[in-house]
Structure 1
Amino acid sequence: MCFIVDFNMKMIPIENYGVKCMSMGFLVDKDAPIVWRGPMVMSALQKMSREVAWGVLDILVVDMPPGTGDAQLTMSQKLQLSGALIVSTPQDVALIDARRGVRMFSKVQVPILGLIENMSYFKCPHCGEPSFIFGAGGARKTAAEMGLQLVGEIPIELDIRKGCDKGMPIVVSAPDSTVSKAYHDVAQTVVMRLEDLAKA
């Protein structure tokens, strides 16, 4: 799916709705498992960050797997990160990993932009009432305990899944929906935090 730029042999990212994207999933067969040891993960991070023709970007977001392993540590050492945004679901077992992530990035002097609660609640498509499937307020409580900003709470919504399957984000298909507003508020808060850090 990826092409090579002739003059510098850098990969061209896929672009849709004005957002550029690159993934290791684009470089392997659709059903091929990606079972890599540490050095291969490090090589992949190098390719994704320095061997892609990103051009001029407002923000580069690197979506990392959960945990505090070699990938996260290497990224914090090799890239000049403006900040780390910690994403967790509300249940206690997930928030344990979130706390570890906060402490790890703090140790390597990467500013913590805040905490996002994903799958915060399920909004019933019939009555519109929220159901807190994974518990209520876990990320909010953790953010308060750790002195962090709660950046946003993203619900589980059927329209998000449908949009993903169709390749159309909900902020495009339903820009006035509650969940689109939640995404917009998260993005706006992150940009403001980055601007504040840049001034400091």
Structure 2
Amino acid sequence: MSAPTSTLTEAVTAALATVDDPEIRRPITELGMVRSTTVTESGQVRVELLLTVAGCPLKDKLRGDITAAVTRVPGVTGVEIEFGVMSAQQRKSLQEQLRGGGGAEPVIPFAQPGSRTRVYAVASGKGGVGKSSVTVNLAAALAAHGLAVGVIDADIYGHSVPRMLGADGKPTRVEEMIMPPQAHGVKVISIGMFTAGNAAVVWRGPMLHRALQQFLADVYWGDLDVLLLDLPPGTGDVAISLAQLLPNAEILVVTTPQAAAAEVAERAGAIALQTHQRLVGVVENMSWLQLPTGERMEIFGAGGGRTVAESLTRTVGAQVPLLGQIPLDTRVRETGDGGTPIVLAEPDAPAARALSAVADRLAVRRESLLGKPLGLRPADR
């Protein structure tokens, strides 16, 4: 004997409530996407679903998730899904719902006093030290820990994060709000997602500031545990804008063992003294090459990371630790070019283990005075 239609309808509605929108990661019933649900006496279910935008790239995933959830309900004999598109007013209501109110002006959630998101700005003094590789691997490792992670590719001129993370999707716009693509459990946004092909970005300071502001305020990030920003090399416009927009961001300095690179990295870290941001630590990349004989070849010299950490400790008047040393490994480059960070593709590789160890330290970090500029200077001797 089949279940009463009203009971079956309630069960189908409950099943739909278990389906999350792939971009927003909240139930489709809560987001007002389910326009109607019809259940016949024979158990045939018809769902009218409203997409946020026409041509939604995740339409097929929604179809599959809804079909799977509803088919599991006892008494359902078939599922038919009809797609529509939200009206401008419905999209506006969704935008206001996600932003937590009807305010027209978007705010930067990570800069609010109640934010629990840890923001790490990955900086370097010069290019070519592997800052972006470190960023994407830390993001992937943190996401693998079960944390909600986002990455902003703030290196406007040299954006490379989408390729290294395998994030080949395009952002979806809902009114004035942007839904970021995801890869390996990491939400990511980059200026490269808005330019045609491999076009160069030729912008001055004010435009860079506005782009960073939009990435922080107009993108719907949801409830992140960690946000990583891949900064351009040096101490230019983006670093200054970051200090203004996210004064609570903590700076992670990446260097190589080379003395010349270490000297420049010290300058990138020392900007924290002027911006009153925290220095969470230093990562030394390309520390050595492991030879088949087991020997270590120090191609770029030795000691640069420790030198930077000790120098910054003296500069800010508080301990700045050397968080890790990452060995040189061609697989870091190969997996990055392939879109799967080495911490996921080759987790047992020495470089992957070293990067995961740094991620562990960032994931379990507690609030303390470590790395905090205290406004003190060493006494002259």
Scaled by the length of structure 1, the TM-score of the pair is 0.89
1:79 match: 246
Secondary structure of 2:195's counterpart equals: coil
The 1-side partners of 2:224 and 2:368 are apart by 18
Secondary structure of 2:229's counterpart equals: coil
The percent of aligned pairs where both chains have the same amino acid is 36
Q: Deviations over 1:118-161 (max 9, x none)?
A: 1222234x444322111111111221233220011112211111
Residue type matched to 1:93 in 2? A
The 2-side partners of 1:157 and 1:143 are apart by 23
Matched, 1:3 2:187: no
2:347 pairs with one of 151, 157, 175: 175
Larger RCO, structure (CA 8 Å, separation 6 or more)? 2
Q: Deviations over 1:139-193 (max 9, x none)?
A: 1122123322001111221111111122111111222221111111111112333
The 2-side partners of 1:98 and 1:38 are apart by 22
More deviation in 136-145 or 65-74? Answer: 136-145
The 2-side partners of 1:56 and 1:39 are apart by 29
The 2-side partners of 1:45 and 1:143 are apart by 28
Displacement of 1:54 after TM fit? 1.0
1:31 match: 198
The 2-side partners of 1:2 and 1:144 are apart by 42
Matched, 1:44 2:218: no
The 2-side partners of 1:137 and 1:154 are apart by 13
Counterparts of residues 99-110 of structure 1 (less than 5 Å)? 99-110=266-277
Unaligned runs of 5+ in 1: none
Aligned 8 A contact 1:66 1:97 in 2: no
1:145 match: 311
Structure 1 segments (4+ residues) deviating >3 Å: 126-129
Q: Which has the larger radius of gyration?
A: 2
In structure 2, relative to structure 1, the CA distance for the partners of 1:136 and 1:56 (3 Å cut) is same
Higher helix share: 1
Displacement of 1:53 after TM fit? 1.3
Unaligned runs of 5+ in 2: 1-168, 314-319, 373-381
The 1-side partners of 2:277 and 2:312 are apart by 15
Counterparts of residues 48-127 of structure 1 (less than 5 Å)? 48-124=215-291, 126-127=292-293
The alignment yields a C-alpha RMSD, in angstroms, of 2.1
The number of equivalent residue pairs is: 197
Secondary structure of 1:61's counterpart equals: strand
More deviation in 37-46 or 8-17? Answer: 8-17
